Chain A
Amino acid sequence: MYKNFFRYLISAIFLLGFSVNSNADFKVGFVYVGPTGDHGWTFQHHEGRNAVEAAGIKTTFVESVPEGADAERVIRQLAQSGHDLIFTTSFGYMDPTNKVAKDFPNVKFEHATGYKREHSNVSTYSARFYEGRTLLGHIAGKMTKTNTIGYIASFPIPEVIRGINAMTLAAQKVNPNIKTKIVWVFTWYDPGKEAEAAQALIDQGADVIMQHTDSTAPVQTAEKAGVWSFGQASDMQRFAPKSILTSIIDDWAPYYVERAIAARDGTWNQQDTWHGLKEGMVAMGPYNSAMGADLVKEVEQLQKDLASGKVHSFTGPIYDQKGNILVAEGKVADDGMLAGMSVYVKGVEGDIPK
């Protein structure tokens, strides 16, 4: 008897936890992989949600949802409880999103950074962060004295490798002697480990630190050690005012608002969006005056050219580490190649973990 009582109690708590009032109003749901307070990836998605809310559309969100079986349960719960549009904001939600979408043809789904659109009610979207990396590479190539750039990498997925390559290509262009040292930390988020990785790179001679992880620990380590750094995902300047040269900022807000309004007004269509500097999905933080006026001007021009399409981050000739040609002279890499990038370009040290 007690057993049953507890079972009811537990399910009641669960329903309470994820329940959302189901009236006829249009509602948007968000699923986050991290806490809204991570001050990085999830934080920026949450800012996007706030913008949707500010546009007068009701939203709910569930944070820290692990990728996997839990995700499907949460997405299904949101779909069942009367949400009309659901944003699932991490790569690992790809299969759960498509699975739930099949059972709820009237609900629209938007999956971030994925590529599977198995049903007509699933769209995908991502940002061309590599354009930001090109700017960082240009700055790093000019600012380094030791010709060594330290890169804290998370997981060996195309997204991360693309960033490393874009940065290295841009840095080589302004400084042919550049070396990129990479440390893989196999986490998106562990401030202690990220700080240790930054310190290791600094001790190994890197005087510019770059990260593809989410915490502010690396920029703080760089600040303490007196080397340059760049913010990731959101503007991290106040954590390291002297060290940060600029930040790559993910700005999801305009896209979220646009898609939410489209879904509400019945104009929503399936699509695959990959926006960059041009559309403002990738934005740059303020440039540090320590760069000098000339370099700031140069970078601002490059930013404009990347946005207008005059310059592409992956313009040939591009070679892989063994010297095989990847992109021929005068050509630019197409989106298919970018999306599946899994080799380093020439000039990057080490191997990609398999």
Chain B
Amino acid sequence: MSLDISFIGILIGSIMASSVPLILAASGELITERSGVLNLGVEGMMIIGAISGFALMVITDNLFIAIVGSMLSGVIISLIFGFLTQSLLTNHVATGLALTIFGIGLSAMLGKNFVGIPGKEFPILFSSLRESIPFFGPILFGHSIVLYFAFALPFLTNYFLKKTKLGLVVRAVGDSPVSASNQGINVILVRYCCILYGGAMCGLAGAYLSLIYTPQWIENMTAGRGWIALALVVFATWSPIKVLIGALIFGGITILQLHMQAIGFRIPVQFLSALPYLMTIIVLVVISRDSRKIKLNTPTSLGRIFYKEK
């Protein structure tokens, strides 16, 4: 067993890489939920993003188009959710669940012809620095551009929600749509935008899996990560920074437990497998004890249907 300092650097690097889809999807969903919309279709949007990205990569041979296309596909499928819940006023929970089932089925159908095609290598940045600097090299360098974006996203989201006027509008809509509407804010439009943004981020999260992390298409390849992202948002009490912490803990313990098995720790494997879920919940509950802050961050009208009387 090797636990020297450079090995730990490599370990942290791979933990970061594994948390990217969670960070992206959870950050997107966070904005959607802060506007008062509960979209349980994260898994469905991710898997649609995964197949769209992969299919576009195969067809156009252009990774940029693939990435942008995956985000667009997330936008399109979340538009269905938006139309149903915002314009036809359907129940958020039921519609979101339907979106996930629909997404998994549709992606399997679209993906039939893309099974068994090897993916393309995604360019990584600063790969020479990764090798030359011990410890910090594998942590800071040699990642894909999507990873850097994912790690900036929670901070940008935090800034957006707390410091910008638009962020205030989103929060107002999520807390009290009636008052926001009386202030002249177009609640439905704001919620539409937040839903579509969430869709784009989930699409990107899916594309990260099918283009970068495990470059291939196989049915159901998101394997429940959408649900974990959803849970992260709640346990992080709708705070972007805590979402980042939660995603890192989850990814970190998932990878650490695999290493512990490989090293040969005599701990029951079932316990190790459950550890990521347990630890993530415990840590997030502990760091979010402040009930005043929870109240501040929780979108009061989450999941409630809003319509404007004419």
Contact = CB atoms under 8 A, between A and B. Distances in A.
Contact of A184 (B112, B209, B214, B269): B269
Contacts of B261: 182-184, 200, 350
A205 interface: yes
15 contacts: A37-B219, A43-B115, A182-B262, A191-B216, A196-B255, A196-B258, A200-B259, A203-B262, A204-B259, A204-B263, A215-B216, A220-B214, A220-B216, A221-B214, A351-B266
Given A183-B262, A192-B18, A196-B14, A39 B218 contact: yes
B268 A181 contact: no
Interface residues of B, number: 40
Interface stretch (B139-147, B171-179, B220-228): B220-228
Given A189-B220, A190-B223, A350-B264, 16 more contacts: A38-B219, A181-B262, A182-B261, A184-B261, A184-B273, A185-B258, A186-B269, A186-B270, A191-B218, A192-B213, A195-B214, A196-B258, A206-B262, A221-B214, A350-B266, A351-B266
A158 interface: no
A35 B258 contact: no
Contacts of A118: none
A203 B119 CA distance: 23
A313 to B, nearest CB: 25
Contacts of A195: 213-214
Nearest to A152: B258
Contacts of B255: 196, 199-200
Nearest to A353: B269
Q: Main SS of chain A's interface residues? A: mixed
B11 A203 contact: yes
Interface in B62-106: none
B268 A353 contact: yes
A34 B150 CA distance: 32
B254 A39 contact: no
B184 interface: no
Contacts of B259: 200, 203-204
A279 to B, nearest CB: 26
Given A193-B223, A353-B268, A204 B262 contact: yes
Interface of B: 1-2, 7, 10-11, 14, 18, 21, 108, 111-112, 115-116, 118-119, 209, 213-216, 218-221, 223-225, 254-255, 258-259, 261-264, 266, 268-270, 273
A189 B223 contact: yes
A200 B219 contact: no
Contacts of B218: 37-39, 189, 191, 215-216
A197 interface: yes
Contacts of A310: none
- A-B pairs, 5 with minimum CB distance: A200-B258, A35-B219, A37-B115, A353-B269, A204-B262
A349 interface: yes
Contacts of B269: 184, 186, 353
Nearest to B263: A204
Interface of A: 34-35, 37-39, 43, 150, 181-187, 189-193, 195-197, 199-201, 203-206, 215-217, 220-221, 238-239, 349-351, 353-354
Contacts, number: 111
Contacts of A239: 118, 216
Given A196-B18, A203-B7, A37 B223 contact: no
A181 B264 contact: yes
Contact of B262 (A200, A216, A217, A238): A200
B262 A150 contact: yes
Contact of B225 (A43, A192, A216): A192
Nearest to B254: A196
Nearest to B221: A191
Contact of B270 (A38, A43, A353): A353
Nearest to A221: B214
Contacts of B223: 187, 189-193
Nearest to A204: B262
Contacts of B216: 191, 215-217, 220, 239
Contacts of A39: 115-116, 218
Contacts of B21: 192
B103 to A, nearest CB: 14
Contacts of B270: 186, 353
Contacts of A354: 268
Contact of A217 (B1, B214, B254): B214
Contacts of B112: 37
B202 to A, nearest CB: 16
Contacts of A196: 14, 18, 254-255, 258
A39 B258 CA distance: 24
